[in-house]
Amino acid sequence: MISFLDAAILGLVQGLAEFLPISSTGHLILASKILGLSTSDFLSSFIIAIQVGSILAVLFLYGRDLFNLELTKKVLAAFIPTAVIGFILYKIIKHFFLTSDLVVAAALIVGGLVMIGLELRHRKKVVEGRGLNDLSYREAVLVGLAQSLAMIPGISRSAATIFGGLSLGLSRSAIVEFSFLLAIPTMIAATGYDLFKSGASFSGGQFEVMAVGTVVSFLVSIVAIRWLLNFIRQHDFIGFGIYRVVVGLLWLIFFIKL
């Protein structure tokens, strides 16, 4: 059973990691292992559901951007690949990917190495690049396809979308903002579908635990978003790539029994 303290800790992890390119889902899985939480349908649903806090944080900070109809349509176009692939692979994602710390550790390492390589390639485009107004619908769909890779916990949704956008020539600030907005339909769909499939089996106490995690993730996400926007003005993501590789290797060495 997840306690309120466990929920608050996981909400903190979610809020910190959701918009950083380090994989919030991967970190939630590792954190739940450290907390000694047993693998269960509720834990998997909890990991999905507390993303609502991060959604609310994006709406709080960027909701006004959704009044830009053209930008909203591009966000929805980018969401389509994730929606289709996520619907098809739902059972595999929930019952295998969200229970395997080995998958997380491997994805952190591989994703970290790819991130370092891509950053070295795009280092000169920290400020340069096209804005969101220059993003075509075709490119939006390609960013959405990149996001779909993050169904593997440890890949990182934000990292996949950011580097997908950089590869298309978007500026760092533009694709980071687009990643924030793309999180809204993606997380709403994932949470809503999972609660539709599993919510009836949860007790009132379990929903209260979800509420605690959601509130904490909302508050921490606001801080994390603002920090990231300031960070990218002067830094690249190589440090995050190194962090991912180190965490993945340490987990494989000390926690995985092969």
Q: How many whole angstroms separate alpha carbon 66 and alpha carbon 185?
A: 11
Torsion angle, alpha carbons of 72, 59, 119, 16, to 10: -160
Gyration radius (Cα) of the chain, Å: 17
Give the DSSP letter of residue 100.
Answer: -
Tens digit of each residue's pLDDT (9 = 90 or more) over 160-196: 999 999 889 898 889 999 999 999 999 999 999 998 9
Q: How many whole angstroms separate alpha carbon 3 and alpha carbon 18?
A: 22
Confidence of residue 5 (pLDDT cuts 50, 70, 90): very high
Mean pLDDT of 45-64: 93
- Provide the mean pLDDT of the chain: 92
Q: Which two tokens stand for residue 110?
A: 């591989």
The structural domain count of the chain equals 1
**pLDDT value for 187:** 92
SS3 of residue 170 by DSSP: strand
Confidence of residue 199 (pLDDT cuts 50, 70, 90): confident
Given a contact cutoff of 8 angstroms between Cβ atoms, the answer to whether 59 and 188 are in contact is no
Give whole-number Cα distances, 108 to 112, 131, 151, 172, in Å.
Answer: 6, 29, 13, 22
**pLDDT value for 149:** 94
Residues with Cβ within 8 Å of 224's Cβ and at least 6 positions away in sequence, in order, are 15, 16, 17, 18, 19, 20
Residues with Cβ within 8 Å of 71's Cβ and at least 6 positions away in sequence, in order, are 65, 132, 181
CA-nearest of 88, 99, 12, 52 to 199 is: 52
Q: Which two tokens stand for residue 189?
A: 């769909």
Q: Which two tokens stand for residue 10?
A: 């996981």
**pLDDT value for 136:** 95
> Is residue 217 over pLDDT 90?
yes
Whole-model pTM: value is 0.91
Tens digit of each residue's pLDDT (9 = 90 or more) over 11-28: 999 999 999 999 999 999
Residue located via tokens 């996400």: 221
Give whole-number Cα distances, 112 to 96, 120, 247, in Å.
Answer: 22, 12, 10
CA-nearest of 120, 169, 181, 109 to 142 is: 169
Q: Which domain holds residue 131?
A: 4-254
> Is residue 127 over pLDDT 90?
no
> Is residue 124 over pLDDT 60?
no
Q: How many whole angstroms separate alpha carbon 36 and alpha carbon 1?
A: 10
